[in-house]
Structure 1
Amino acid sequence: MTAVADDGLPLVGTLTLPVGPGPHPAVLLLHGSGRLDRDSNTARLRMELGPPLAKSLANAGIATLRYDRRGVGATGGDW
């Protein structure tokens, strides 16, 4: 999924939806501070926390959105 920031920069993220018709409650997953991607990974340490958390919430009927910050992961720009 790609959204566009006010300054025109495409922000890349992942929307995880529960199975079945909506509407569904939803949460925005915000990662910790620093150069972390949408799955809480850094260049030197891969945590991969996003996918299992999003899957667990989807199994509970909750949609999630997680995204890469500017200059991290698949989102361009300067950190």
Structure 2
Amino acid sequence: MQEETFSKNMRMALAMKGQTQHSLAIASGLHPSRISAIATGKADPRITEVWKIAEALQVPVTWLLEDHAANLGTTV
């Protein structure tokens, strides 16, 4: 997994939902400093953390792992 992709998607989901890192920490049960470290790419998320974050953000795990920038500009 590319941590930078995960971090970027996590931040994007937070912005789209109008949530903060602190609210994500509360919802996921992770420490705020751990959420911050993951969001900035300073820490690699453990698989259990990936699941907790996805559940708290109400997005599929796969969405957090996909490179959405690669899909920009493509038509369906």
TM-score, normalised by the number of residues in structure 2: 0.28
Task: Point out the structure with the larger strand share.
Answer: 1
Between structure 1 and structure 2, the one with the greater Rg is 1
